[in-house]
Amino acid sequence: MDRLIRWFKTSTPAWFDRRVACLLLVLLFMTLAWNGGPAMPQQAVLLNRQATATLEPEAVASEDSQKTPYPQEWLDNREQTNGIVFGGVMLVLIIVGGTLHAIRKRPGDSS
């Protein structure tokens, strides 16, 4: 057993450490859990398709139908949407900029 551990330590690349091994194990576990679920029997799939096909009514558009009006609050405050999008973009830029700064920072550099 000691020979196997010694061989593993000497033959692995430098970037492969415990953190990478744990990440790969978690990724493997999640992949197996996602793909390992029970399959739905073919008969149940066919019954489900038939049930949804018979239960859903068809939408009929008549000439009397009108468009649903927007609520008055939406019409009064439509300029706020641009502010929300601008704020979201600014938050993304702050996060990306901080991440890039942290990646480029040298170890031991205090600024």
- The ranges assigned to domains in the chain are 1-37
HSE of 60, CA atoms in CB hemisphere, 13 A: 3
Enumerate the H helices of 17-57 as residue ranges: 18-35, 42-55
Residue 85: its pLDDT value, please?
A: 86
> How far apart are the C-alpha atoms of 50 and 6, rounded to whole Å?
61
* pLDDT confidence bin for 30, thresholds 50/70/90: confident
Q: In this predicted model, what pLDDT tens digit does every residue of 61-103 receive, in sequence order? A: 666 667 788 888 877 877 777 778 889 999 999 999 999 988 8
- CA-angle at 69, arms to 64 and 61, nearest 5°: 30
Task: Give the predicted TM-score (pTM) of the model.
Answer: 0.32
Quick one: pLDDT at residue 93?
96
Separation of alpha carbons 95 and 103, rounded Å: 12
Residues near 51 by beta carbon (within 8 Å), at least 6 away in sequence: none
**In this structure, what DSSP letter does residue 38 have?**
P
Instruction: Name residue, tokens 């008055």.
Output: 72
Identify the residue with better confidence: 75 or 59: 75
Q: Which residue has the tokens 């020979």?
A: 3
